[in-house]
A and B are shown apart, each in its own frame.
Chain A
Amino acid sequence: MEFIIITLVKTGLVAFILLTTLAYLQWVERKVIAHVQARVGPYRVGPHGLLQPLADVVKLMTKEDLIPDHVNKVFYVLAPFLAVFLALLSISVIPFGPAVEIFGIKTNLGLADINIGILLILAVSSLGVYGIALAGWASNNKYSLMGGLRSAAQMVSYELPMALAIAAPLILSNSLNLREIVDTQAGNWYGIPNWNIFTGGQIFGFFLFMIAAFAETNRIPFDLPEAENELVAGFHVEYSSMKFAGFFMAEYANMITVCSVATVLFLGGWHSPIPSQAGSGVFAALVHFAAAGMLFFHAMHAARPFDKITFPVFGVVISGIGAIFLAGAFVWPALGAAINGLFWYGAKTFILLFVFIWIRATLPRFRYDQLMRFAWLFMFPAALLNMLITAFFVALKG
Chain B
Amino acid sequence: MSGDTFFFYAFSALALLGGLGTVLLRNAVHCALALMTSLLGVAGLYLLQGAEFLFAVQIVLYIGGIMVLFLFVIMLVNLDQASKLQQFGRQTPIALVVALAAVAAIFSMLSKSAVLLPASVSLTPLTGGNTETVANVLFTDYLLPFELVSILLLVAVVGSVMMAGKRTE
Residues of chain A having any CB pair with chain B under 8 Å: 75, 114-116, 119-120, 122-127, 129-130, 133, 136-137, 145, 148-149, 152-153, 155-156, 159, 163, 176
Q: Are A127 and B64 in contact (CB under 8 A)?
A: yes
CB-contacts of B13-65 with A (<8 A) = 29, 36, 52-53, 55-57, 59-60, 63-65
Closest chain-A Cβ to B80's Cβ sits at a distance in Å of 12
Q: Are B68 and A152 in contact (CB under 8 A)?
A: yes
B36, B60, B63, B71: the one within 8 Å of A119 (CB): B60
B130 within 8 A of A: yes
B52, B63, B76: the one within 8 Å of A127 (CB): B63
Q: Are B75 and A119 in contact (CB under 8 A)?
A: no
- Name 19 interchain pairs, CB-CB below 8 A, sorted by A: A114-B52, A115-B52, A116-B56, A119-B52, A119-B56, A119-B57, A120-B56, A123-B60, A125-B64, A126-B60, A126-B68, A129-B64, A149-B76, A152-B68, A152-B72, A152-B75, A153-B72, A159-B64, A176-B131
Q: Are B130 and A149 in contact (CB under 8 A)?
A: no
Contacts of A156 in B (CB 8 A): 65, 68-69, 72
Contacts of B131 in A (CB 8 A): 115-116, 176
Contacts of A130 in B (CB 8 A): 36, 68, 71
- Supposing A149-B76, A152-B72 touch, asked if A116 and B52 sit within 8 A by C-beta, the answer is yes
Contacts of A137 in B (CB 8 A): 29, 71, 75
Q: A115-B131, A123-B56, A148-B75 are in contact. List 12 more A-B contacts (CB 8 A).
A: A116-B52, A116-B56, A126-B60, A126-B68, A130-B71, A137-B29, A137-B75, A145-B75, A152-B68, A152-B69, A152-B75, A155-B68
B145 within 8 A of A: no
Chain B's interface size range is 20 to 34
Contacts of A136 in B (CB 8 A): 75
**In the docked arrangement, what's the CA distance between A129 and B65, Å?**
10
**In the docked arrangement, what's the CA distance between A145 and B56, Å?**
29
| Most chain A CB within a 10 A radius of its CB, from B56, B59, B72, B130 | B56
Contacts of A163 in B (CB 8 A): 60
| Most chain B CB within a 10 A radius of its CB, from A119, A145, A148 | A119
B129 within 8 A of A: yes
Contacts of A115 in B (CB 8 A): 52, 129-131
Q: Mark B83-109, 1 if CB is under 8 A from A, else 0.
A: 000000000000000000000000000
Contacts of A152 in B (CB 8 A): 68-69, 71-72, 75
